[in-house]
Amino acid sequence: MLKKISTNIAVFILSLLFCLFLLEIILRTGLFDGADDPQPIWIPLEFQKIDKEINRENWQFAKLNPFRFTDKIRKEKKEDGITRIAVLGDSFIWGYGLPYKQAWSHKLENMITGKYENFEVMSWGQGAWSTMDELSFLEKNGINYDIDMLIVGFVDNDPNMKDIKNKTYGWSSNLVIRSLRIFFPNATNFIVTHTNYFLTQYFYKDHQYHNWIRRLYSDDNLQNYLELLQDFSVFCNSNNIKLLFVLTPHSHDEGMRKRFDRIKPLLEQANIKYLDLFPVVKEKLGHIPVRKLWANPANGHPGSLLTGVYADSTFDYLEKQGVFSQEDTLVKILEEKTERNINDAEAVQSLVNIALQDVQWDVRKEAAVALGKVNSPLAVAPLIAAAEHFDPGIREAAVDALGELKDPRVLTYLVRALEDKSVPVRKRAVIALGRKGDLRYVAPLITTAIKDNDPYVRRRALVALSKMKDPRIVQCFILALEDPFYHNRKSAVISLGKTKAPEAVDPLIALLNDEDRDIRVEAAYALGEINEPRIVEVLKIVSLKDKDTYVRDIAADGIKKITGKEYGKYRRKLLRIWQMF
């Protein structure tokens, strides 16, 4: 009886393998490659190899960059007279599936630097980044590069606030499936992808990418996204960074138009300038099949036709907006006039009026910075009075302008503004106090970071405290690890690493097991900044065991920082053995 069962099992397995073999042969003929299918379910191995080779070359270049960007290494301090523009985004900026020079940020860089002198364009992009991740990078590292303008390449999956998960099927990555892929890659992937498609269509309607995108555009999630955009706007404006969102569609499908139409009102409410590229993509490329717009036959990221339209349209917009103009603005003229005579009451009052009332926040900020440069005592009284104004917009502008002044009297009013009823006013006050860096005001900032009822005000306080050196802030960051807002927990992890305090080690080690990949990345990075021997063994395990490649790489980098020795070559050999089991 046992022999018969064993025989039947063996026959079944052999039959299955034979069927897989036949399917593999058929698929390799290319008859069913779906090269013209705009939404293919399955991608042949031949096409995947093309994609992997392109991305492999890009990764070799990106590994030279400290942030894994496909950009050359830049100095933090820019040269005198240089205007710096950064293009920030996800895999569209990184250039997934495209040769390096065809990414749209690099095309834009060549256009700008080829026509205008004294401009520098940087490409800051990493795969799977959302707007939240992009702001986090800007706060943590990007702000150190003294940029004058930030162009954010918006993609339709950017409203990912981390609380809506992209549900996938785990069964397709088990040991049996991985083993079958070695011998029958096309057949195995064909069966897996079609099975997943069937399951999504008829049983699990909340699984897979397109259903995840649909949930990102729910009213509740977009309301949360609006709050993030408002915070993004305040952060950039407070740091005198001109901000532009460029909406980049990866096809001319009408679904893209509908999603962008949901985003544009949010950008307007957040006082963010934007450029919607869907109309021009529809006009110029609408006659071309969607698959022809892909980066390559296996990769649905924007191809060279799309990136060319992105770069051309953005360049034209920047020229029309006068970004490259060398003419003096009204604010610049008033600033120069006041510098010649800081007691010129008329010029000072004109700057104050612009700082408080101009319809464009970029112009308000320009005037506020000018007031800070001339440092006229005549500006203090009217700005202090405006900080008590009944209109929260006036109070916000006044607090921002006070933050630019060097007069010691303004500090009292900035601390008072931490209790203002208006969220934007409190944000501006926190940012201004953080920029002052006066340790006498660490205590009120800690209170704000832990107790303010708005998550983004708490966030601004955490970021401000991360720039200060005071032993009291370590416990504040540890407490912030329990913040209900994901974005703040991530900031707390980053800030803890910056302190390099011994008491930060255990909380950071605990976070290496967090379910969120980005939290693990930041925890591994933070531990690599702390020179303590016991961390090395912990990071060795992470560099082998973590399921995410980037987390493993960051852990290996951390080991090298602490020990000064390269761990990568041994890790790769051990990793192959580890992954077999």
Q: What is the pLDDT along the chain (581 residues), one digit of tens a residue?
A: 677 788 888 888 899 899 999 998 999 988 788 888 888 888 999 999 999 999 999 999 998 999 999 999 999 999 999 999 999 999 999 999 999 999 999 999 999 999 999 999 999 999 989 999 999 999 989 999 999 999 999 999 999 998 888 888 877 778 888 888 889 999 999 999 989 888 888 888 788 888 899 999 999 999 999 999 999 999 999 999 999 999 999 999 999 999 999 999 999 999 999 999 999 999 999 999 999 999 999 999 999 999 999 999 999 999 999 999 877 777 778 778 877 777 788 888 988 898 899 889 899 998 888 888 888 889 999 999 999 999 999 999 999 999 999 988 899 999 999 999 999 999 999 999 999 988 989 999 999 999 999 999 999 999 999 989 899 999 999 999 999 998 899 899 989 888 888 899 999 999 999 988 889 999 999 999 888 888 999 998 998 888 888 898 889 888 888 888 776 555 554 554 444 44
CA atoms within 13 A on the CB side of 562: 25
Q: Alpha-carbon distance 77 to 74, whole Å?
A: 9
Q: What is the pLDDT of residues 132-147, one digit of tens each?
A: 999 999 998 999 999 9
Structure tokens at 387: 């900080």
Structure tokens at 10: 């063996």
Phi, psi of 483, rounded to the nearest 5 degrees? -60, 135
Taking a C-beta distance cutoff of 8 angstroms, is the pair 331, 363 a contact?
Answer: yes
Predicted structure pTM score: 0.89
Tell me whether residue 60 is exposed, middle or buried, using C-beta atoms within 10 angstroms of its C-beta: 0 to 12, 13 to 18, 19 or more. Answer: exposed
Q: Alpha-carbon distance 370 to 466, whole Å?
A: 27
Buried b (16+ CB within 10 A) or exposed e, 350-369: bbbebbbebeebbbbbbbbb
Identify the structural domains of the chain with CATH numbers, from first to last.
6-35+168-207 (no CATH), 47-164+215-320 (3.40.50.1110), 500-581 (1.25.10.10)
Tell me whether residue 55 is exposed, middle or buried, using C-beta atoms within 10 angstroms of its C-beta: 0 to 12, 13 to 18, 19 or more. Answer: buried
Taking a C-beta distance cutoff of 8 angstroms, is the pair 69, 94 a contact?
Answer: yes
Closest Cα to residue 278, out of 251, 244, 311?
A: 251
Amino acid in position 104: W
Closest Cα to residue 234, out of 459, 496, 494?
A: 459
Taking a C-beta distance cutoff of 8 angstroms, is the pair 255, 211 a contact?
Answer: no
Question: What's the pLDDT at 578?
Answer: 43
Q: What is the pLDDT of residues 450-492, one digit of tens each?
A: 999 999 999 999 999 998 989 999 999 999 999 999 889 989 9
Phi-psi region of 240 (alpha: psi -120 to 50; beta: other; left: phi over 0): left
User: For 294, which DSSP code?
Assistant: E
Q: What is the 3-state secondary structure (H, E, C) of 334-362?
A: HHHHHHHCCCCHHHHHHHHHHHHHCCCHH
Structure tokens at 414: 């900035």
Q: Alpha-carbon distance 335 to 356, whole Å?
A: 16
Beta-carbon count within 10 A of 300 CB: 19
Question: What's the pLDDT at 572?
Answer: 53
Structure tokens at 52: 């992997």
Question: What's the pLDDT at 576?
Answer: 47
Q: What is the 3-state secondary structure (H, E, C) of 131-143?
A: HHHHHHHHHHCHH
Q: What is the pLDDT of residues 269-325, one digit of tens each?
A: 999 999 999 999 999 999 999 999 999 999 999 999 999 999 999 999 999 999 998
